[in-house]
Structure 1
Amino acid sequence: MSIALVRNPGDGPEFRYYKSAIEQVVSDAETNGTVTVMRLTVGRADAPPLHSHSREDESWVVLAGRVRFWVGAASLGACDVRDAEPGAYIYGPRSVPHTFQAITPTAEVLIINNPGAIEGYFHSIGPADARSDAEHTDILTQYGVTLLDNPPPASPL
């Protein structure tokens, strides 16, 4: 049996991940582990380190602002770099290194992970004044995530 789910912006519970606000649009539990969807509001300085996932494919839909993506290599300098505008869809298959950064003061992005268990990582980190991903490699390893390089440097406006 399949049950459709309609969730309008703001209907899902919100939580903090470092300094970013995240809305849990659809949870792993609601989809029997098939998918998790999070709405992320991110600033220029909130970029994750270059990393890869061994367990899930990841997609992004840019809702507002502009976002730069680095994909395909184990260092930022060797990655393919692409800019995405509102309405853009980006697909990152598992094991492909990637990161992203808002190139407008803020951006709003839907993050879609298949399967959905990775949401547990985001919830376990919680709020903090600054990113400290390297301090959480034990938790990242539990979720099949490998850090490969630093985050992109925050660029001025």
Structure 2
Amino acid sequence: MSIPLVRNPGEGTIFKYYDRVQEQVVSNSETQGAVSVVRVTMRQADAPPLHTHSREDESWVVLSGRVRFWVGSASLDECEIHDAEAGAYVFGPRFVPHTCRPLSKTADLLVINNPGAVEGYFRSIGPADAPHDLDHADLMVQYGLTVLAGPPPA
């Protein structure tokens, strides 16, 4: 059974995903699979490839900085572009292509996945010197992730 909780910055579990440190604010296991929340400081070089999730909706809360989101198409050139500033909430429903990149040098985000099982993907990747998303195609399939294009331009 999941329990109510309050978790302040720094009170979650810290883990490495590629070359960045992330904080697992709320885990899938703590919420009986309902949600997973990660706090991340994202650099411009950390932009993920354009992708979809087939099993969960994804939301972002911009805590600091400015972040550009590409959404809605399998091609970056055809995506809608939205800029989000500190305090913004962004929702990405499952099956809708999306990616993002900070416009500022860095941006602090809460990344929320409902349900939360995709956190297993990030934990399975673990530490590495740089992102190699396409090297993990089998793992992506296991977690319902599909890469459609590379990351957005800087």
Contact 1:69 1:81 in 2 (8 A): yes
Counterpart position of 1:37: 37
Contact 1:21 1:42 in 2 (8 A): no
Counterpart position of 2:58: 58
Contact 1:19 1:46 in 2 (8 A): no
Inter-partner Cα distance in structure 2 for 1:58 and 1:33? 14
The TM-score normalised by the length of structure 1 is: 0.95
- Partner-residue secondary structure (3-state), 1:109: strand
Q: Report the AA paired with residue 34 of structure 2.
A: T
Structure 1: segments with no counterpart, 5+ residues = none
Inter-partner Cα distance in structure 2 for 1:130 and 1:75? 24
Q: For residues 101-146 of structure 1, give each alpha carbon's deviation from its aligned partner in whole angstroms, at most 9, with x where no partner exists.
A: 1111111100000000000000010111211101101100000000
How many Å apart are 1:20 and its aligned residue? 2.1
Alignment of 1:136-147 (within 5 A): 136-147=136-147
Q: Which runs of 4+ in 1 moved over 4 A?
A: none
Counterpart position of 1:151: 151
Counterpart position of 2:3: 3
Inter-partner Cα distance in structure 2 for 1:12 and 1:103? 27
Counterpart position of 1:89: 89
Inter-partner Cα distance in structure 1 for 2:91 and 2:21? 22
- Partner-residue secondary structure (3-state), 1:14: strand
Structure 2: segments with no counterpart, 5+ residues = none
Q: Report the AA paired with residue 142 of structure 2.
A: Q
Q: For residues 36-66 of structure 1, give each alpha carbon's deviation from its aligned partner in whole angstroms, at most 9, with x where no partner exists.
A: 0000111001100000000000000000111
- Partner-residue secondary structure (3-state), 2:109: strand
Would the alpha carbon gap of residues 13 and 2 (structure 1) be closer, same or farther in structure 2, given more than 3 Å must change? closer
Inter-partner Cα distance in structure 2 for 1:91 and 1:33? 19
Q: Report the AA paired with residue 138 of structure 1.
A: D
Q: Report the AA paired with residue 139 of structure 2.
A: I
Q: CA RMSD in A?
A: 1.0
